[in-house]
């Protein structure tokens, strides 16, 4: 839970005293349906807009947040939080806990200006996509200097969810920073009548590593 109180411990004459000091900056913002709450240390004048649509919550914040706690009321103890990763155009699962006392999903994040929702995740097959990925990397865009790869999966034409543990990077030995110019290339692979994978490569264009080491 996000700290609402500061605990000060004093030792006087061998006795330990605990003093609870209320943190005046801790604020909680709640969605209009009362199901999702966002809790963080908010600067004065901060506003947050939380809009629910088809089970997802679009969060917009006027402040940059180092750490926020999300609470979602639910009885689904095995559900997980996920947020829409705008860079890759797919949903990304977040580390999630369930509070049995309050019946809430909990996650800590810095990603506020995006969509959040809960997911039910089954074990998904993990095929080898080396050949497909190689074809995408070979067809790198002009002036590409580095890349990051995510693989997503979708059931029954639903939204793609990033497959955990499958991230990779290359070019500049993976050590590059974003300069603002990026582009995506992707490839869809049908695994069955109901399961489809999408390989997405996010390319850094033009700058970002010494010597402009172009991907070959």
- Residue by residue, DSSP assigns 71-120 as EEE-S-TT-EEEEEETTTTEEEE---EEETTTTEEEEEES--SSEEEEE-
Domain with CATH 2.60.220 in the chain: 5-119
Q: What is the reported pTM?
A: 0.80
Residue 112 pLDDT level (bands cut at 50, 70, 90): confident
DSSP run (H or E) holding 149: strand 144-155
The answer, yes or no, to whether residue 209 has pLDDT greater than 90, is: no
Contacts of 134 by beta carbon, 8 Å cutoff, 6+ apart: none
Per-residue model confidence (pLDDT) at position 21: 37
For 5-119, the fitting CATH number among 1.10.10, 3.30.460, 2.60.220, 2.30.30 is 2.60.220
Per-residue model confidence (pLDDT) at position 77: 94
What's the average model confidence in pLDDT over 42-61? Answer: 89
Per-residue model confidence (pLDDT) at position 24: 40
Burial class for 12, CB neighbours closer than 10 Å (0-12, 13-18, 19+): exposed
Residue 45 pLDDT level (bands cut at 50, 70, 90): confident
Q: What share of the chain is helix, strand, coil (3-state, %, to 5)?
A: 5, 50, 45
């Amino acid at each position: 839970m996000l700290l609402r109180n500061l605990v000060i411990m004093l030792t006087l004459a061998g006795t330990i005293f605990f003093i609870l000091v209320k943190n005046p900056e801790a604020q909680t913002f709640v969605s209009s349906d009362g199901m999702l709450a966002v809790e963080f240390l908010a600067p004065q004048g901060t506003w947050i807009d939380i809009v629910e649509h088809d089970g997802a919550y679009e969060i917009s914040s006027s402040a940059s947040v180092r750490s926020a706690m999300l609470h979602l009321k639910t009885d689904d103890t095995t559900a997980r939080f996920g947020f829409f990763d705008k860079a890759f155009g797919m949903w990304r699962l977040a580390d999630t806990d369930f509070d049995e006392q309050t019946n809430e999903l909990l996650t800590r994040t810095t990603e506020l200006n995006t969509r959040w929702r809960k997911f039910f995740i089954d074990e998904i097959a993990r095929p080898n996509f080396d050949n497909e990925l190689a074809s995408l990397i070979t067809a790198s865009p002009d002036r590409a200097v580095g890349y990051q790869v995510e693989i997503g999966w979708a059931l029954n034409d639903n939204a793609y969810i990033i497959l955990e543990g499958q991230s990779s990077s290359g070019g500049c030995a993976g050590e590059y920073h974003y300069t603002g110019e990026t582009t995506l290339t992707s490839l869809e692979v049908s695994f069955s009548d109901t399961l489809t994978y999408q390989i997405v490569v996010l390319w850094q264009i033009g700058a970002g590593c010494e010597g402009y080491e172009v991907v070959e």
